Chains A and B, each alone.
Chain A
Amino acid sequence: MSIRRFALAALASALIAGPLAAAETLLNVSYDPTRELYSEFNAAFNKHWQAQGHDPVTIQQSHGGSGKQARAVIDGLRADVVTLALAGDIDELHRLGKLIPENWQERLPQSSTPYTSTIVFLVRKGNPQGIKDWDDLVKPGVNVITPNPKTSGGARWNFLAAWAYAQQKYGSEAKAQEFVAKLYKNVPVLDTGARGSTITFVNNQIGDVLLAWENEAFLALKEQGGDNFEIVAPSLSILAEPPVAVVDKNVDKKGTRKVAEAYLDYLYSDEGQRLAAKHFYRPRNEAIAGEFAKQFPALKLVTIDRDFDGWKTAQPKFFDDGGVFDQIYQAQ
């Protein structure tokens, strides 16, 4: 086969394979720590979907830092559904991409957040630095691992949890900013996503404490065995609410609205909720949350809507260009 014919054949097959593959597939663009959850949930949903008399659907997954993933969808990654780390990132799909209506969060129960999580500390076995609470993270010589709030959703929850703690304890925003600035001085690397930070801490053995999603911390314990790490629950943390949404512009173009909506609805079903709990997310369904109550420590939690006036206020104030996070890093 001549080079030219090979190239033509390759091009042709690529052109044909493109549209064919798009016909019966659903693309879920998600954030970092949900890999294990969705690989199991997708199989369960497919079974449920076929039991209702539909053809099987191929569910594709893409994972990465939440902000980066939102950016990719805005730039044209054809997600049917997004399951991201925080509402602020999905808001951007409306603001910058006009892909979804502004009231997207009202379309599903619990502000479109089928499961929740919180932020905990993962420390090395025996807790050699004696880390018990947020105050221990600003001590000199303690290395804190957390991802970059510009690209990672989990990192923004981490930041706000630390802020909430300091504001409650020291009483003012100025004090809180001082506290958080001190904390970020102890951060040697900022990975782009939560999973990158976990790998930095767990595999590359960098740092004394990892600020992590509760589900991510449990998963690290499960994958690496409980012999090397332990979880420390701080006195106060934040209720992290990862939301989900159908991307209207994409599903309408691809004709996948029905299956995309059924997919997200199924996250609220008993099976969906149990799978979430199995992968260490706190289920919204109270009966099922009760079944798994032993798994999750009881924590005092602030919320984004009550304590920070929602993501529409918090995102520009803390994380957009020139926000508090930038001020902290410019000061350093």
Chain B
Amino acid sequence: MSSITLTASASANAARRGNLLGRRLLIFGAWLAFVLFLLLPLLVVLGEALKQGLGTFFGAIFEADAISALKLTLLAVGISLPLNLLFGVCAAWCVSKYQFRGKSILVTLIDLPFSVSPVIAGLVYVLLFGAQGFFGEWLQEHDIQIVFALPAIVLATLFVTVPFVARELIPLMQEQGTQEEEAARLLGASGWQMFWHVTLPNIQWALIYGVVLCSARAMGEFGAVSVVSGHIRGYTNTLPLHVEILYNEYNHVAAFSVASLLLLLALLILLLKQWSESRINRLKASAGEE
């Protein structure tokens, strides 16, 4: 397999040598797009945030409303992530290891949150759980608050992040097939043993990647959460909503400071992914040496 790739890429290289200019242009274009559309906006955010010095920057980040927005955001991620992990693994397992009726419908439905506008996702929860909604009367009688409170914020976050883990796992697990699991069962492994020792090591990469994407999206979600949040300052505002509020209050420096806090969290997640990747690699390498 690898030798085939090598010869293929060698012949491709030979073909490309004649077209050096085109290659350089392409690379230059890629870099230009990267700098213009990714790096520059990030630098602008940081620049605006630090315009009035570090004091104002940290002042905005450690302000009580910003801290509560940060807590709420992390809480929403903390609740929705494990649930998505569970759902993602279960869904991917069902789809890739079993044959059943309605399988293609299930696969399509998993992708639904990608195609539905987040605003609609938010509105759906208002229609279901709002005071005028489907369950509204019952919820009010029992004094349960879902919309404009934490539960709806978590539900909205869940809705928009549901596909990430499953989408990462399904193609991988389908490709891997069921042979290794079948072998484990034949050798006498229990269901859990098979999952922990055979399935999980096979999918850990995709799993980690799905989790990273999922938490990044959960932290940044604006539309769906905005609809169900109620925008109560210091209580139901997540970080992205807090950024908008600050911006609307002529408080640009604070808005960009909190935005760069979000950015920092995103970078942290990427680092975490990098770290876990290298750790897994090292484990694999040492296992290979033995």
Known A-B contacts A21-B235, A96-B132, A97-B131; A77 and B82 likewise in contact (beta carbons under 8 Å):
no
Chain B, Cβ-Cβ closest to A199: B248
Complexed CA–CA distance, A196 and B245 (Å) = 10
Cβ-defined contact, B75 with A10, below 8 A:
yes
0/1 interface trace, chain A 88-114, chain B, CB 8 Å (1 if under) = 000000001100000000000000000
Tell me the chain A residues, 195-243 only, with Cβ under 8 Å from chain B: 195-196, 199, 203, 223-224
Interface of chain A, helix or strand or loop or mixed? helix
Known A-B contacts A18-B145, A61-B233, A97-B131; A35 and B249 likewise in contact (beta carbons under 8 Å):
yes
Cβ-defined contact, B130 with A75, below 8 A:
yes
Q: Check: A11 CB closer than 8 A to any chain B CB.
A: yes
Q: Check: B250 CB closer than 8 A to any chain A CB.
A: yes
Chain B residue contacts of A64, Cβ below 8 A: 231
Q: Check: B32 CB closer than 8 A to any chain A CB.
A: no
0/1 interface trace, chain B 236-253, chain A, CB 8 Å (1 if under) = 000000000101111010
Tell me the chain B residues, 150-206 only, with Cβ under 8 Å from chain A: 150-151
Chain B residue contacts of A74, Cβ below 8 A: 131-132
Cβ-defined contact, B136 with A76, below 8 A:
yes
Cβ-defined contact, A27 with B150, below 8 A:
no
Per a CB cutoff under 8 Å, which of B79, B147, B150, B247 touches A76?
B147
Tell me the chain A residues, 24-78 only, with Cβ under 8 Å from chain B: 27, 32, 35-36, 60-64, 72, 74-78
Chain A interface: which size bin? Answer: 20 to 34
Known A-B contacts A60-B232, A62-B233, A195-B248; A75 and B78 likewise in contact (beta carbons under 8 Å):
no
Chain B, Cβ-Cβ closest to A96: B132
Known A-B contacts A62-B231, A75-B132; A6 and B145 likewise in contact (beta carbons under 8 Å):
no
Per a CB cutoff under 8 Å, which of A10, A77, A224 touches B148?
A77
Q: Check: A253 CB closer than 8 A to any chain B CB.
A: yes
Per a CB cutoff under 8 Å, which of A14, A35, A63, A199 touches B150?
A14
Q: Check: B126 CB closer than 8 A to any chain A CB.
A: yes
Q: Check: A7 CB closer than 8 A to any chain B CB.
A: yes
Q: Check: A294 CB closer than 8 A to any chain B CB.
A: no
Chain A residue contacts of B75, Cβ below 8 A: 10, 14
Cβ-defined contact, A7 with B248, below 8 A:
no
**Separation in Å of the B31 CB from the closest CB of chain A?**
30
Chain B residue contacts of A10, Cβ below 8 A: 75, 78-79
Chain B, Cβ-Cβ closest to A202: B250
Complexed CA–CA distance, A189 and B196 (Å) = 56
Chain A residue contacts of B143, Cβ below 8 A: 253
Q: Check: B113 CB closer than 8 A to any chain A CB.
A: no
Complexed CA–CA distance, A61 and B235 (Å) = 9
Q: Check: A331 CB closer than 8 A to any chain B CB.
A: no
0/1 interface trace, chain B 122-146, chain A, CB 8 Å (1 if under) = 0000100111110010001001010
Per a CB cutoff under 8 Å, which of A18, A36, A75 touches B133?
A75
Q: Check: B47 CB closer than 8 A to any chain A CB.
A: no
Chain B residue contacts of A3, Cβ below 8 A: 82, 85
0/1 interface trace, chain A 165-200, chain B, CB 8 Å (1 if under) = 000000000000000000000000000000110010
Cβ-defined contact, B232 with A61, below 8 A:
yes
Q: Check: B220 CB closer than 8 A to any chain A CB.
A: no
Known A-B contacts A78-B145, A96-B132; A4 and B248 likewise in contact (beta carbons under 8 Å):
no
Chain A, Cβ-Cβ closest to B126: A75
Chain B, Cβ-Cβ closest to A99: B131
Chain B residue contacts of A77, Cβ below 8 A: 147-148, 230
Complexed CA–CA distance, A11 and B79 (Å) = 7
Cβ-defined contact, B79 with A7, below 8 A:
yes
Chain B residue contacts of A62, Cβ below 8 A: 230-233
Cβ-defined contact, A76 with B83, below 8 A:
no
Q: Most A CB atoms within 10 A — which of B82, B147, B230?
A: B230
Chain B residue contacts of A6, Cβ below 8 A: 78, 82
Q: Check: B266 CB closer than 8 A to any chain A CB.
A: no
Q: Check: B234 CB closer than 8 A to any chain A CB.
A: yes
Q: Most A CB atoms within 10 A — which of B83, B126, B232?
A: B232
Per a CB cutoff under 8 Å, which of A7, A61, A96 touches B83?
A7
0/1 interface trace, chain B 220-233, chain A, CB 8 Å (1 if under) = 00000000001111
Known A-B contacts A27-B232, A76-B136; A7 and B145 likewise in contact (beta carbons under 8 Å):
no
Cβ-defined contact, B132 with A7, below 8 A:
no
Complexed CA–CA distance, A7 and B86 (Å) = 12
Chain A residue contacts of B233, Cβ below 8 A: 60-63
**Separation in Å of the A249 CB from the closest CB of chain B?**
9
Complexed CA–CA distance, A316 and B74 (Å) = 44
Complexed CA–CA distance, A78 and B152 (Å) = 14
**Separation in Å of the A96 CB from the closest CB of chain B?**
7
Cβ-defined contact, A60 with B79, below 8 A:
no
Per a CB cutoff under 8 Å, which of B79, B85, B140, B250 touches A223?
B250
Leading 4 A-B pairs by shortest Cβ distance: A76-B131, A75-B130, A223-B250, A77-B148
Q: A interface vs B, CB < 8 Å?
A: 3-4, 6-7, 10-11, 14, 18, 21, 27, 32, 35-36, 60-64, 72, 74-78, 96-97, 195-196, 199, 203, 223-224, 253
Identify 18 residue pairs between A and B in the complex whose beta-carbon atoms are under 8 Å apart, listed by A's number: A7-B82, A10-B75, A10-B79, A14-B151, A27-B232, A35-B249, A62-B232, A62-B233, A72-B148, A74-B131, A75-B131, A75-B147, A76-B130, A76-B133, A76-B140, A96-B132, A97-B131, A203-B252
